[in-house]
Amino acid sequence: MRGSLLRKSRGMLVGSVMALGVVGLTAAPASAWSGGNVWVNFGDWNCPGGGSVVGVYWAVDAYSVGPAGGDWGDNVIYPRVRVGSGAYNTLSYQTICKKWGWYQYRGVVGSRSLTPYKSGLSYTY
């Protein structure tokens, strides 16, 4: 009785070690990203009807979002993003354009992938 119990426990131990080895081989490497910010500049080509970018509504995945009323006053935003190894972000945006000194309209709606390796980088779209 004692011998069969010992064989069973050895078998379970060997099986467990093998299972852990398989899991270790198939596990994906851990991502090493952290939070940071990048500069994003929107060119006037984001105003298909002419004029210049004066505001941007934006969000980065479910990670960060701009002010509810939009980011106004210029064509630059500074969103919080994932930076470093494994950092993948999707920036969704809509530009607000100004033309003739008073007329404002909604410009381009788009999304871009950002994979910054460090905080403080600058992108132009």
Query: Quick one: DSSP state of residue 44?
Result: G
**CA atoms of 37 and 85, how far apart (whole Å):** 15
Interval 103-116: pLDDT, tens: 999 999 999 999 99
Q: Is the pTM of this model over 0.75?
A: no
Domain definitions of the chain by residue range: 34-124
**CA atoms of 84 and 115, how far apart (whole Å):** 8
Interval 61-82: pLDDT, tens: 989 999 999 999 999 999 999 9
